[in-house]
Chains A and B, each alone.
Chain A
Amino acid sequence: MSGGGKGGSSTAATEIPDWIKEPSIRNIGRAEDVQQIGYQPFYGIDVAAPNEAQRAAAQMNIGTAQAFGMMPQGYENMTAFSGMPQTQTIGGVTGYASAPMYEQAVQAGAAANPTQAQIYKSLFGNA
């Protein structure tokens, strides 16, 4: 703010100290870089699969039902975990991963609304 003439002049200056100025600028730059990364999906196992003992017990259940003629028509050849997703073993742990389902959902969303997907995509990876 300044003034002049017969009334003189007045000047107000607000300054950020140097000791905080440079780190702040670097931090903001880093935040903008991180902003460009986008979502990182988890490709590991989300749900543990039944262990061997549980699988054996489940198969016994099916066998018992079959032996007693309790499998309705169309289910005669059912196994203990038929119909369940394919298991994966990562690091010795067997289970089910949500990543394939997630990727399908993303693809389905992009197919349903390509423009929206393009806008989303343009938000990332421009660093």
Chain B
Amino acid sequence: MGKNQQQQKICYVNTGPGQKPGVSKFFKKDFLFKFILFFSGFLVFLLVLSIFVSLILNSVPSLKEFGLKFFVSKTWDPVFEQFGALPFITGTLLTSFLAILITIPFSLAISIYLAEFTKHGFYPGFLKNSIDLLAGVPSVVYGFFGIFVIVPVIRYLQIKLHIEPYGVGIFTASIILSIMIIPFSSSLGREIIEMVPAEIKEAAYSLGSTRFEVIKYVILPYARSGITAGILLALGRAIGETMAVTMVIGNSNMMPESIFSPSNTMASVIANEFTEAVTSIHLSSLIEIGVVLFLVTTMISITGKIIIKKFAVHQ
């Protein structure tokens, strides 16, 4: 009886004439369908792999020519065909880190408000809608706004401070970037804060803590790793941003001297020079920068997500 128990689950529905009971006449179609599903997933996977391989293959000329020197050389000289990416790596790091620094207080405030304060009412609704709309504004519109509104303001400040009135530069780009990542980082922050278990919050409140104290001594320390991961992910976003940065960063391929210097980021130099790189070594150097962008954003994204997963499971 034991072995035959399995065979007891014979289905007589959906069997066609001349077919064995238990075998659905849709068996083939189901199999085909499941295969199509799997194949679609496989195609997507193949896509990601091919992107990586394509980028690497096309940067081989400059990889061979410059090797590791590419990342520490300051010279980007198309005439003498010497390409070094340090100015752009520096520009990228400076703008992104500065943008994160600027955005933290604001994003944190929004996350805390939406997670811990009133959830319904005029102001939360207004806040949520504003942030959603902010998230939908295209990068090029931010850049446009930057050119015509932010740059003159910065220029005015620079004149007052007696520094070169470029208007454009790293500082301006950081400001625009910080505005752009507010929606992303605040929604991430809010998710993290909402993951803090209610029990420990309520325990703190029942001991008589004010909301500020609960946030400062309970929620933030608990959510610390998650918030760090959130900052990391926001950094990844900022690094890849192209249009708004290209429009306000001043487009200089020299090492920046201060945060008010004009500069270029890895993304903006590709946007500037890609259609015009005449020699194959110039082109492959630009593609190599694309590889760096790909790797950096991938690593940041994976690391951030791992930290958040650990944090979420950890309760």
Does chain A bind chain B?
no
